[in-house]
Structure 1
Amino acid sequence: MLKPDADVITRLMARYQAQGHLLRLDPHDAMVRSRFGGTAYTLCALMGERTGREAIRATERYVGCARSAPRRIEGQSISGWP
């Protein structure tokens, strides 16, 4: 199964949280609500979850695992050592 890039997911999560803050400041702003919904949908789709909260939890778990695990490219680690 393909996994999303941890950097992309981290940026989306930050965007989701910032837009959530804006939405709490002005819950009747249609543009803010639309952007928040779009970001939530993208996170859900990338993380395979049904709700924004589930996607955020999955993102936090995934980013934590992705940051701690060494990356491999074509059978080698980033440093070039097997």
Structure 2
Amino acid sequence: MLLPAKTEVARQLRRYRVWERVMLASPADRAARGTFEDSGYTLCVLMGKRCAREAADAAERYLRSTTPAAYLQEQDVRPRPTVRPSAAAR
């Protein structure tokens, strides 16, 4: 599983949080809401989640982890075992 660069995740998470605050401060502002939703979508794609809140939580966990393996264990996702070719296929 390819994981995104932590710097990019941190940048997108900051952007999401900033636009969340702007949107909550002025909920009638359609431009702010649109930008907030766009930033949430970007975070979803980056973290492989379907919901912006889940993506933000996953991004925070990923940024707290020291290694990608720790992130995988937190997600309860196991790397797939390597398939070795059989002797007949060689």
Q: Same fold (TM over 0.5)?
A: yes
| Moved beyond 3 Å, runs of 4+ | none
Aligned position for 1:22:
22
Please report how far the alpha carbon of residue 27 of structure 1 lies from its aligned counterpart in structure 2 after TM superposition: 0.5
Structure 1 residue 64: Cα displacement = 1.2
Could you tell me which runs of 5 or more consecutive residues in structure 2 were left unpaired when the two chains were aligned.
68-90
Unaligned runs of 5+ in 1: 70-82
- RMSD, aligned α-carbons: 1.4
Q: TM-score, normalised by structure 1?
A: 0.77
Q: Which residue of 1 aligns with 2:50?
A: 50
Q: Which has the larger radius of gyration?
A: 2
SS at match of 2:27: coil
Task: State the identity as a percent.
Answer: 37
Structure number with the higher strand fraction is: 1
Instruction: Name the SS for the 2:63 alignment partner.
Output: helix
| TM-score normalised according to structure 2 size | 0.71
